[in-house]
Structure 1
Amino acid sequence: MIEWLIEFLTVLLQTVRDVIPIAAIIFGFQFLVIRKPIPHMKQVLIGFAYVIVGLAFFLQGLEQALFPLGKLMAQQLTDPAFIYGGVEELGRVMHWSDYKWVYLFAAAIGFSTTIAEPSLIAVAIKAQSVSGGAITVWGLRIAVAIGVAIGIALGTYRIVTGTPLHYYIIVGYIVVIFQTMRAPKMIIPLAYDSGGVTTSTVTVPLVTALGLGLAGTVPGRSVLLDGFGLIAFASLFPIITVMGYAQLGEWRTKRAHARKLKEKGE
């Protein structure tokens, strides 16, 4: 208990050190540039205290739970004894298809963490509000979550095979460029923002831990060169799926409209 308390106090002090520059900029501009008092100063200071304590608990939780859990799952799923049902064949070279449970786990983690992402929920609520219901909260959340699931699964495949990261990113952004030229204009800014909100408090720790754990257990992989990069997939593929979601909706609307015109003509 004493050891945990010392660790938490260390994290708390580091968090205070990291938050002070942000507070200095905000208060500095308020008092020196805008030159107006901050309304409800007491509530603002209490809020800053909550932020600091909350961040400290969050960072402590990452180190004690999420990072070790992600690495442990990667190690267990890549264990030859698990892959071959408890019978490891000596001298057998692992094939990318042997890691099917890793891909499935990566997709499930990507989908579930994105659905729970607070920043995505906030963006989805605002999008539904300003679009008059044309974009639904759950429609956007599921579209983004599917993109993250596909991206993380493909990213783990890249780690297993050892193929260069930039090939995937270049091809992905070529698809994004073509979609941008064809997608409804109202969805394009939201799609690009949806790629950014996935890299937040819930998704990043687990995905990073999974990548590092997987690179550390797959033979021939470098933790530094191959362990990172999964977050890039989590940011890229939601852009594709959100624009695809809008394009599919537009196509269905046009098809329904054409059917109605055809029925009237008959």
Structure 2
Amino acid sequence: MNVFVDKFKEVIMSVLPVTAIVLLLNFTIAPIGTEMIGRFIVGAIFIIFGLSIFLFGAEIGIQPIGSLMGSSIAKKKKLWIVVVFGFLLGFLVNIAEPDLLVLARQVSEVTSGAIGQTTLLIVVSIGIGIMVALGLARIVFKVPLNRVLTVLYGIIFALVLFAPKVFLGIAFDSGGATTGSMTVPFILALGLGVASIQGGKESEEDSFGLVGIASAGPMLAVLTMSLLSGIKELTGSLPYHGESSGSIIRPFLHEIPALLVEVTFALLPFLVLFLIFQVLIIRLPRKQFARILKGLLYTYIGFLLFLTGVNAGFMEAGSAIGHTLALLDYNWVVIPIGFILGFVVIFAEPAVYVLNEQIETVTSGHIQRKVILYALSIGVASAVALSMVKILVAEIQLWHLLVPGYLIAVILSYFAPNLFVGIAFDSGGVASGPMTATFILAFAQGVAEATEGADVLLDAFGVIALVALTPLIAIQVLGLIYKHKAKKTAVGEE
């Protein structure tokens, strides 16, 4: 129960700042109506309880499965087993990623079904599966992480040159959204399980980087899909749900039946694979097995509540607030508001504090957690503000920001300490958490919909990618600072 209370506190820290900002804007410069703000508040409550239960379930169910499966397949010491099961596990866990489900639904709605939700889910999950398999093989063969990343991002940059530009935001956002609350703990546990079997002093370093490699998969997959789809031009518009439904609660009740099916199909394959592992390989004691099943049940319930809150009230308010602000004569106000939203989202993100502690421990206190927190918060805030600038200024395109950013991140990987490189590329999901995938993207879509000359598909998508890019650069820069400090300390001791 203590674990659940901790998760509950973490989620409240994440959701309440955004809720407070929305309420403040609603009662000042961007009123969105009593009914919609009521649905937003109810949605926030659903998200708080849903995400708390989901994370609790993930901790006692999903993470142990990842670690057990990782060590089990590594013990076989056969590459084909590592690759095949790496693909399967990556695919199945990603299908059940809440942030990706939210993104896929948004893409489907904005494109009026031209890019279907199921299609995007499957394509992205295939990309994740392939990259998880590749990442596990990298651990087995001890290939340097920066070399793998250089090749992957080299291919991504090449595809960007030929892919229709309407797919760029979706592709890069998919990479950010997949590294969420379901996928990251599982893949980290999977990587740690494989690395621990390998042993050696480098096992800790090897365990990092798997999420970073995995997050390149969706980009590659979606960009490849764009080339094969034959779609050259596609415009997007926001399905605005501002009309009255006559009830605050009715939309939530309306969402639940469809989401029951959606969540069941998302989690069922993962459950089946775990049961197969249990019968054939793992053979856990009954008590431990029951605890994991209980964790999966909590994950299911939390998942359902979370998506209900997101779909029935939370995101709608986000897009409405963005839409209202962008219609103001002083629509430039979305830039500082975007900055504030980005700052509070990351400042209040519990996973960031875990990351801060991890880096402070690894550096023996040379890099203080306060420095990391402010570096990430200002970085993410700037990324969201930059996204708003991109929407308002038609000449700025997404690739103008992303390609140089990722290029810098890859170049830094050759100079930063290896451990920091792994942590940095694993941490994209830390920044692009549930609040980014739900509220901030919806906010950007609302701004784009109301801005003359902007297109929701071209200009709003990409905000998750920019946010996810921030830790890649910030943490590696901190790694260089640590490296410099460590050298100075060593010289001083001599």
TM-score normalised by the chain length of structure 1 = 0.74
Q: In the alignment, which residue of structure 2 is the partner of 1:184?
A: 164
One-letter amino acid matched to 1:47:
G
The equivalent residue for 1:230 is 210
Contact 2:93 2:183 in 1 (8 A): yes
- Could you say if the C-alpha distance between residues 11 and 241 of structure 1 is closer, same or farther in structure 2, counting changes exceeding 3 Å? closer
- Among candidates 117, 120, 124, match of residue 137 of structure 1: 117
Distance 1:9 1:106, change over 3 A: same
Contact 2:71–2:190 (Cα < 8 Å) also in 1: no
Q: CA deviation at 1:29?
A: 4.1
Identity %: 34
What's the CA shift string for 1:97-116, capped at 9, x where partnerless?
x2322221110011122233
CA contact (8 A) 1:156 1:211 kept: yes
Q: How does 1:10-49 map to 2 (within 5 A)?
A: 10-31=6-27, 34=29, 36=31, 39-40=34-35, 42-49=38-45
Residue 151 of structure 1: CA displacement? 0.7
| Closer, same or farther: CA 55–127 of 1 in aligned 2, 3 Å | closer
Q: Displacement, 1:173?
A: 1.1
Q: Distance in 2 between matches of 1:177 and 1:35?
A: 39
Distance 1:205 1:187, change over 3 A: same
Instruction: Report 1:15-94 matches (<5 A).
Output: 15-31=11-27, 34=29, 36=31, 39-40=34-35, 42-79=38-75, 83=76
For the residues of structure 2 that align with 1:120 and 1:228, how far apart are their CA atoms?
22
Indicate whether 1:160 and 2:156 are aligned: no
Comparing 214-223 with 51-60, greater Cα deviation is found at: 214-223
**Preserved contact between residue 159 and residue 221 of structure 1 (Cα < 8 Å):** no
Among 103, 121, 131, the alignment partner of 1:123 is 103
Alpha-carbon distance in 2 for matches of 1:121, 1:12: 22
Larger Rg: 1
Name whichever of 184-193 and 205-214 sits farther off.
184-193
> Alpha-carbon deviation of 1:157?
1.0
Q: How many residues align?
A: 230
Name the CA distance, whole Å, in 2 between partners of 1:221 and 1:248: 44
Alpha-carbon contact 2:74-2:193 (below 8 Å) kept:
no
- For residues 145 and 102 of structure 1, the distance between their equivalents in structure 2, rounded to whole angstroms, comes to 17
* AA at the equivalent of 1:39: T
Does residue 194 in structure 1 map to residue 185 in structure 2?
Answer: no
Residue 136 of structure 2 aligns to which amino acid in structure 1? Answer: T
- Judge conservation of contact 1:66–1:209 (CA < 8 Å) in 2: no
Q: Deviations over 1:187-234 (max 9, x none)?
A: 222222222221223322211211122222222264541212122122
Partner of 2:295: none
Residues 198 and 27 (structure 1), Cα distance of their counterparts in 2 relative to 1, 3 Å cut? same
1:249 equivalent to 2:244? Answer no
The normalised TM-score by structure 2 is 0.42
Q: CA contact under 8 A between 2:55 and 2:181: conserved in structure 1? A: no
Distance of 1:113 and 1:235 partners within structure 2: 13
| DSSP 3-state at the match of 1:34 | coil
- Greater alpha carbon shift after TM alignment, 119-128 vs 46-55: 119-128
Task: Give 1:148 shift.
Answer: 0.8
8 Å Cα contact 1:74-1:217 kept in structure 2? no
> C-alpha separation between the residues in 2 aligned to 1:128 and 1:17?
30
CA distance in 2, matches of 1:163, 1:172: 14
**In the aligned structure 1, how far is the partner of 2:167 from the partner of 2:46?**
35
> Residues 180 and 207 from structure 1, CA distance in 2 versus in 1: closer, same or farther, beyond 3 angstroms?
same
Deviations 1:13-63 (A, max 9, x none): 3433444433343334444x5275862455444333322222221222122
Q: Deviations over 1:106-146 (max 9, x none)?
A: 10011122233344344334434444554333332222122
**Aligned partners of 1:144 and 1:241 also within 8 Å:** yes
Query: 2:15 & 2:98 partners in 1: Cα distance?
Result: 21
Question: 1:195–1:238: 8 Å Cα contact kept in structure 2?
Answer: yes
CA RMSD between the two structures: 2.7
Secondary structure in 1 aligned to 2:230?
helix
Residues 171 and 222 in structure 2, CA contact (< 8 A), matched pair in contact too: yes
* SS of alignment partner, residue 181 of structure 2: coil
1:264 — aligned with what? Answer: none
Q: Would the aligned equivalents of 1:215 and 1:221 in 2 still touch at CA under 8 Å? A: no
Counterpart CA distance in 1 for 2:30 and 2:163 is: 45
Aligned partner (choices 157, 170, 193) of residue 213 of structure 1 = 193
Q: Which amino acid aligns with 1:104?
A: V
- Whole-Å Cα distance in 2 between the matches of residues 10 and 249 of structure 1? 45
- Alignment match, 2:151: 171
Bigger drift between 167-176 and 184-193 goes to 184-193
3-state SS in 2 of match to 1:103:
helix
Structure 1 CA distance for aligned equivalents of residues 17 and 187 of structure 2: 28
Q: 1: CA distance between counterparts of 2:148 and 2:175?
A: 16
Look up the equivalent residue of 1:163 and give its one-letter code.
Answer: V
CA–CA distance in structure 2, aligned partners of residues 129 and 35 of structure 1: 24
Letter of the 2:19 counterpart = A
